[in-house]
């Protein structure tokens, strides 16, 4: 079982990197980052960042339950040179659905953590140095760690 921030972030990044478009083998995301990034070359993009930890508790004298929180942000460019408004919307809708389904169908990230929860989602459209569609997921991962 994975119990560190680094290892759990890597599991989420790997999950994002493995998602495919439609029912084919084409990768869903053009780029996936595990650090803050603002320059993207190929869309859609996923960025996975740790945001902290929420509730945790002592289970017994040897084990603690800990919750790591992450923000998974999706970006899709919308422009005359890139995707049209309709294409960008369709791409982002598919990406959002795929991310939700991926976590719903793999509640333990391959048996590596106790439980993953997508607890909050937001969607937005912004014009700032280009036009983008955004989606953000709060992903909480519960783990059981040894209490030494």
The domains of the chain are located at 5-146
At 144, phi and psi to the nearest 5?
Answer: -110, 125
In the chain (148 residues long), the average pLDDT of successive 10-residue segments reads 94 97 91 92 95 73 84 87 79 94 96 93 70 90 84
- What region does 89 belong to: left with phi over 0, alpha with psi -120 to 50, or beta? alpha
Cβ atoms of residues 127 and 68 within 8 Å: no
Choose which CATH entry (3.30.2000.30, 3.65.10.10, 3.40.50.2300, 3.40.630.40) describes domain 5-146.
Answer: 3.30.2000.30
Q: Residue 46, Cβ neighbours under 10 Å: how many?
A: 25
What's the CA gap between 69 and 55, in Å, rounded? 10
pLDDT number for residue 78: 81
Give the DSSP H or E segment for 48: strand 45-53
- CA 55 to chain CA centroid, Å, is 20
Q: Residue 12, Cβ neighbours under 10 Å: how many?
A: 26
What's the CA gap between 87 and 27, in Å, rounded? 17
pLDDT number for residue 132: 80
């Amino acid at each position: 079982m994975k119990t560190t921030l680094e290892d759990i972030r890597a599991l989420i990044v790997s999950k994002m990197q493995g998602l495919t478009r439609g029912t084919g083998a084409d990768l869903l995301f053009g780029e996936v980052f595990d650090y803050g990034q603002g320059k993207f070359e190929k869309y859609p993009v996923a960025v996975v960042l740790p945001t902290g930890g929420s509730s945790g508790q002592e289970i017994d004298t040897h084990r603690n339950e800990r919750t790591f929180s992450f923000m998974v942000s999706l970006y899709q460019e919308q422009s005359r040179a890139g995707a049209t408004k309709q294409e960008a919307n369709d791409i982002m809708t598919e990406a959002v659905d795929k991310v939700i389904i991926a976590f719903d169908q793999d509640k333990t990230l391959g048996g590596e953590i106790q439980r993953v929860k997508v607890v909050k989602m937001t969607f937005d459209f912004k014009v700032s140095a280009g036009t983008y569609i955004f989606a953000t997921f709060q992903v909480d991962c519960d783990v059981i760690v040894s209490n030494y």
